[in-house]
Amino acid sequence: MNLDTLLEVKTGFSSFRPGQKEIIQDVLSKKDVIALLPTGGGKSLCYQLPGYALGGTVVIVSPLLSLMEDQVQQLRSSGEKSVVALNSFLTFSEKEKLLSVDLNSYKFLFISPEMLQVDKWIKKLQTVRIDLFVVDEAHCVSQWGHDFRTDYLKLGTVNKILGEPPTLALTATATKAVIQDIQAFLGMSEPVFHINSLDRPNIALKVEEVVNNQEKRERLLELITDLQPPGIIYFSSRTKTEELYEYLTENGINKVAYYHAGLSQEQRILIQQQFLMDQVDLICCTSAFGMGINKSNVRYVLHYHQPTQMESFVQEIGRAGRGGNQSIAILLKSKEDAMLPEFIIGNELPDQEWVSYILQNLVNEYGEIESISKKQMKEWVEQYPEQESYWRYLFFQLNEFLHKHGKLNIASLQPCIEEIQSRIDKRTTMKRSKLKEFNNWTTTALCRRKELLHYFDEEMSTPIQQCCDNCGLNMDSYSREIKFTSKSDVDQQPVTWEKVLKKIFWQEDEN
Q: Kindly provide the b/e burial profile for residues 280-307, where b requires at least 16 CB atoms within 10 angstroms of the residue's own CB.
A: bbbbbbbbbbbbbbebeebbbbbbbbbb
- End of a domain among 195, 229, 261? 195
Asked if residue 185 and residue 72 are part of one domain, the reply reads yes
Asked if residue 411 and residue 310 are part of one domain, the reply reads no
Overall domain count for the chain: 3
- 164, 188 contact by CB (below 8 A): no
**Over the stretch 219-239, which tens digit does the pLDDT of each residue have?**
999 999 999 999 999 999 999
Residue 254 in domain: yes
pLDDT of residue 385: 64
First to last CA, the chain: 61
Residue 453 in domain: no
- Give yes or no for residue 27 having a pLDDT over 60: yes
Residue 213 in domain: yes
SS3 316: helix
Strands 108-111 and 57-61: parallel
pLDDT of residue 469: 96
**Over the stretch 265-300, which tens digit does the pLDDT of each residue have?**
788 888 988 998 999 999 999 988 876 577 889 999
Containing structural domain, residue 259 = 203-341+467-480
Residue 94 in domain: yes
How far apart (Å, rounded) are the C-alpha atoms in residues 191 and 272?
35
Asked if residue 318 and residue 221 are part of one domain, the reply reads yes
Give me the CATH number covering residue 331.
Answer: 3.40.50.300
Question: How many other C-beta atoms lie within 10 A of the C-beta of residue 251?
Answer: 16
Instruction: Specify the length of the chain in residues.
Output: 511
Lowest mean pLDDT among 153-157, 211-215, 264-268, 403-407: 264-268
Res. 507 pLDDT band, cuts 50 70 90: very low
Res. 504 pLDDT band, cuts 50 70 90: very low
pLDDT of residue 231: 96
**Over the stretch 318-372, which tens digit does the pLDDT of each residue have?**
999 988 899 999 999 998 888 999 999 998 889 989 999 989 988 998 898 888 7
pLDDT of residue 377: 73
Lowest mean pLDDT among 3-17, 234-248, 402-416, 435-449: 3-17
Asked if residue 210 and residue 188 are part of one domain, the reply reads no
Asked if residue 102 and residue 55 are part of one domain, the reply reads yes
- 140, 147 contact by CB (below 8 A): yes
- End of a domain among 163, 195, 227? 195
Residue 92 in domain: yes
pLDDT of residue 485: 42
- Give yes or no for residue 22 having a pLDDT over 90: yes
Residue 43 in domain: yes
Q: Percent of the chain at pLDDT above 70?
A: 92
Asked if residue 250 and residue 215 are part of one domain, the reply reads yes
Asked if residue 128 and residue 212 are part of one domain, the reply reads no
**Over the stretch 67-105, which tens digit does the pLDDT of each residue have?**
787 788 888 888 888 999 988 778 888 888 999 999 999
Res. 146 pLDDT band, cuts 50 70 90: low
More confident position, 367 or 151: 367
More confident position, 66 or 501: 66
- Give yes or no for residue 436 having a pLDDT over 90: yes
Which string of DSSP letters, residue by residue, matches 355-411?
A: HHHHHHHHHHHHS-BS---HHHHHHHHHHSGGGHHHHHHHHHHHHHHHHHHS-BSTT
Strands 130-135 and 57-61: parallel
Asked if residue 215 and residue 188 are part of one domain, the reply reads no
DSSP type of residue 272? H
More confident position, 247 or 384: 247
Q: Is the peptide bond before 166 cis (omega within 30 degrees of 0)?
A: no
SS3 214: helix
pLDDT of residue 508: 36
- End of a domain among 145, 175, 195? 195
How far apart (Å, rounded) are the C-alpha atoms in residues 107 and 87?
17
Lowest mean pLDDT among 20-34, 221-235, 325-339, 473-487: 473-487
- Give yes or no for residue 483 having a pLDDT over 70: no
pLDDT of residue 144: 60
Res. 386 pLDDT band, cuts 50 70 90: low
Q: Which residues lie across from 258 on neighbouring strands? A: 284
pLDDT of residue 342: 93
Asked if residue 106 and residue 43 are part of one domain, the reply reads yes
Asked if residue 135 and residue 170 are part of one domain, the reply reads yes
pLDDT of residue 365: 86
Asked if residue 471 and residue 328 are part of one domain, the reply reads yes
**Over the stretch 160-172, which tens digit does the pLDDT of each residue have?**
999 999 999 999 8
Q: Kindly provide the b/e burial profile for residues 144-181, where b requires at least 16 CB atoms within 10 angstroms of the residue's own CB.
A: bbbbbbbbbbbbbebbeebeebbbbbbbbbbbeebbeb
Q: How far is CA 151 from CA 1, 99, 373, 426, 449, in A?
A: 38, 22, 15, 19, 34
How far apart (Å, rounded) are the C-alpha atoms in residues 496 and 502?
10
Average pLDDT of every residue of the chain:
86
Asked if residue 214 and residue 185 are part of one domain, the reply reads no
pLDDT of residue 87: 82
pLDDT of residue 299: 96
pLDDT of residue 90: 82
- Give yes or no for residue 495 having a pLDDT over 50: no
Residue 113 in domain: yes
Q: Percent of the chain at pLDDT above 90?
A: 53
